Chains A and B, each alone.
Chain A
């Protein structure tokens, strides 16, 4: 069911294969099939920015199908930012259009001789000249392609100046700010001289039982729209976390030196943003939440600036992490990153990092082309983005990724970057939440909240509730280590499945107990494919996807020594209701032991042969 197109950019040829039922059964689609293909097609010798890297684009099994938030599409490649597994997903409308145009997955290989874009429609893939797009930003590229092809309904995923200039943390943008942000997938696309992928389709997706699907959709709609999680998301979106992390004292402050700022709350509050800047809500395919904010700056130096966003990690990243409490500055920075195609997660973390280096005297204005990197400085925040794009000053180093930048700067500068497996951690500080800390340490694309953060740990759920939800009781107290390996494992499975199906995690039990979970996924899969999976089979598929990703990491030399939290997390929180909380090394190592055992990995974090056999992965390329 469905098709994969193997696209060779160098020879401008396409080979098409049907997706076998077996592959669907093992990996479903989206991130699942992407990971399987990527693991087969790249190796430890692959240069992430070389033509031999492979960019796999994959819509989920339910993407574009009538249902709740079935919008997601994943982009996977070897990451130019971390040198390890790269994978990032976006919502919006592009994923559905790719499927309607006749393809579920694209495997993009080689490097085009000149800038091109792919035009995908009616089961065909055309290679189009993109030279005229080379000076445009992401928004302009999308508009220009629609004009060129004379169809306003074409959906485009593209890169901007960052991707074209080889910035290692460039992202792929669709619409105003739907981003496949983390791990530098835009950099891979740029290295292939591929400026954009445009899709428009009219083919109906094959649905096994349309009537049942409609019934399931209606029931899921009634279920999710009654939940508190849905209602809160529909007002605040991810920005609710800005207030929550600050009031409870787990926001990162000044590059994670503090866990709560002592100023700025009066301005940098989600309610203030909604009152002063929000003009309306926006949404992705099939989602009743409309968690995205359209905004307009009414006055000041950015008067009239309009965009969509910002998400929490932009608000907290430039806010508490960089000491900035000006909404206008944050909104302008967000807008620039969207237009240039820069990953906000990395840009904010890099900014906080160099601000701390500046504070400590490790870098000076000589290194920054005269830019003063004072905490909270609007000139610094905006100036750094410009420097990265123009590859000048300290931005020239940052464009190469923080790992290369730290080597060039020297003087132990790498100690001030908080990361896991090369990917910078985001603005919240999870040292007081043990399951979340474990998820951060072990996430397969490096530090990541969307793979294994047990969000429910923040909600004080009683053990009987977590037993009903996950199958095993999980201690209510966030500070307890016992039992948290299961919380992390369950989260990995539900996140893997959501990504393989193309369902937004913000509509799943990852976020709130009343939203979609395995049972609802089973109903949707049965209506679409006719195959009824059991709960055990769903967990096994999630485990299979995660273990394949772990195999990828193992091949790259990742072991237990890399499953760690940043050094700062072993020091106590300085502020707030839980001041004094820190990670205790011995307890954390025991938790890691139990986590490996649950997965069937050895004490070094390497999957055991018998575990691979159980998952049907024994034939995967060996290490």
Chain B
């Protein structure tokens, strides 16, 4: 039987994308950020952290006027 895809929301770009139940990793097709997924049950997946915190935190710096 085919697994039902679940929608989750990317924490970087806020767009929704599909993942298969119990996949441990996923990449957002919109912004390409890679995430670790935590499955609470087969229908409740949530992003718990980026695959690499170091990379995510370093690239998060933006040039902000008056910032």
| Chain A residues with a Cβ under 8 A of chain B | 228, 231-232, 235, 243-244, 246-249, 260-266, 269-271, 460, 571-577, 579-580
Q: Is the CB of B46 within 8 A of A247?
A: no
The complex places the Cα of A573 from the Cα of B38 at a distance, in Å, of 28
CB-CB under 8 A from B60, the residues of chain A are 249, 260, 262, 575-577, 579
Q: How large is the interface on B (under 10, 10 to 19, 20 to 34, 35 or more residues)?
A: 20 to 34
Say if the beta carbon of B3 comes within 8 Å of chain A.
no
Q: Is the CB of A265 within 8 A of B67?
A: no
- Cβ-closest chain A residue relative to B62: A579
Q: Is the CB of A572 within 8 A of B66?
A: yes
Given A269-B49, A579-B62, CB of A247 within 8 Å of CB of B67:
no
Say if the beta carbon of B40 comes within 8 Å of chain A.
yes
**Secondary structure class of chain A's binding surface, majority of residues:** loop
21 contacts between A and B (CB under 8 A): A228-B40, A243-B49, A247-B50, A248-B11, A249-B60, A260-B60, A261-B57, A264-B53, A264-B57, A269-B49, A270-B48, A271-B36, A271-B48, A460-B9, A574-B61, A574-B64, A574-B67, A575-B62, A577-B13, A577-B14, A579-B62
CB-CB under 8 A from B47, the residues of chain A are 247
- Cβ-closest chain A residue relative to B43: A228
Given A571-B67, A573-B67, A577-B14, CB of A266 within 8 Å of CB of B62:
no
A233 to chain B, nearest CB (A): 10
The complex places the Cα of A235 from the Cα of B61 at a distance, in Å, of 31
The answer, among A244, A265, A460, A573, for a CB contact under 8 Å with B64, is A573
- Cβ-closest chain B residue relative to A574: B67
- Cβ-closest chain A residue relative to B54: A266
Given A232-B40, A577-B12, CB of A271 within 8 Å of CB of B49:
yes
- Cβ-closest chain B residue relative to A263: B57
| Chain B residues with a Cβ under 8 A of chain A | 9, 11-14, 36, 38, 40-41, 44, 46-50, 53-54, 56-58, 60-62, 64-67
The complex places the Cα of A571 from the Cα of B65 at a distance, in Å, of 10
The complex places the Cα of A271 from the Cα of B24 at a distance, in Å, of 14
CB-CB under 8 A from A572, the residues of chain B are 64-67
A531 to chain B, nearest CB (A): 37
CB-CB under 8 A from A235, the residues of chain B are 38, 40
A226 to chain B, nearest CB (A): 9
B51 to chain A, nearest CB (A): 11
Q: Is the CB of B48 within 8 A of A243?
A: yes
Q: Is the CB of A244 within 8 A of B61?
A: no
CB-CB under 8 A from A271, the residues of chain B are 36, 38, 48-49
Given A262-B57, A266-B53, CB of A247 within 8 Å of CB of B11:
yes
CB-CB under 8 A from B44, the residues of chain A are 228, 231
Q: Is the CB of B40 within 8 A of A579?
A: no
The 7 residue pairs across chains A and B that have the minimum distance between CB atoms: A265-B53, A231-B40, A579-B62, A247-B11, A574-B67, A228-B44, A266-B53
The complex places the Cα of A269 from the Cα of B62 at a distance, in Å, of 23
The complex places the Cα of A271 from the Cα of B67 at a distance, in Å, of 32
The complex places the Cα of A575 from the Cα of B59 at a distance, in Å, of 9
The complex places the Cα of A260 from the Cα of B14 at a distance, in Å, of 17
B53 to chain A, nearest CB (A): 3
Of listed A571, A572, A573, A576, residue having the most chain B CB within 10 A: A576
CB-CB under 8 A from B61, the residues of chain A are 262, 574-575
CB-CB under 8 A from B36, the residues of chain A are 271
The complex places the Cα of A491 from the Cα of B49 at a distance, in Å, of 28
The complex places the Cα of A260 from the Cα of B53 at a distance, in Å, of 12
The complex places the Cα of A271 from the Cα of B50 at a distance, in Å, of 12
CB-CB under 8 A from B9, the residues of chain A are 460
CB-CB under 8 A from A577, the residues of chain B are 11-14, 60
The complex places the Cα of A246 from the Cα of B53 at a distance, in Å, of 10
A382 to chain B, nearest CB (A): 25
The complex places the Cα of A586 from the Cα of B41 at a distance, in Å, of 45
CB-CB under 8 A from B46, the residues of chain A are 228, 232
CB-CB under 8 A from B38, the residues of chain A are 235, 271
Given A232-B46, A247-B11, A271-B49, CB of A571 within 8 Å of CB of B54:
no
CB-CB under 8 A from A246, the residues of chain B are 57
B13 to chain A, nearest CB (A): 6
- Cβ-closest chain A residue relative to B50: A247
Of listed A228, A244, A247, A579, residue having the most chain B CB within 10 A: A247
- Cβ-closest chain A residue relative to B53: A265
CB-CB under 8 A from A263, the residues of chain B are 54, 57
Q: Is the CB of A571 within 8 A of B66?
A: yes
The complex places the Cα of A539 from the Cα of B48 at a distance, in Å, of 35
CB-CB under 8 A from B64, the residues of chain A are 572-574, 579-580
CB-CB under 8 A from A249, the residues of chain B are 60
The complex places the Cα of A267 from the Cα of B46 at a distance, in Å, of 20
The answer, among B12, B40, B41, B66, for a CB contact under 8 Å with A247, is B12
The complex places the Cα of A247 from the Cα of B34 at a distance, in Å, of 12
The answer, among B40, B41, B54, B62, for a CB contact under 8 Å with A265, is B54
B56 to chain A, nearest CB (A): 7
Given contacts A243-B49, A260-B57, 17 further A-B contacts (CB under 8 A): A232-B40, A232-B46, A243-B48, A247-B47, A247-B50, A261-B57, A262-B61, A264-B53, A265-B50, A266-B53, A573-B64, A574-B64, A575-B60, A575-B61, A577-B13, A580-B64, A580-B65
The complex places the Cα of A575 from the Cα of B9 at a distance, in Å, of 20
The complex places the Cα of A231 from the Cα of B50 at a distance, in Å, of 21
CB-CB under 8 A from B50, the residues of chain A are 247, 265
CB-CB under 8 A from B13, the residues of chain A are 577
The complex places the Cα of A266 from the Cα of B50 at a distance, in Å, of 10
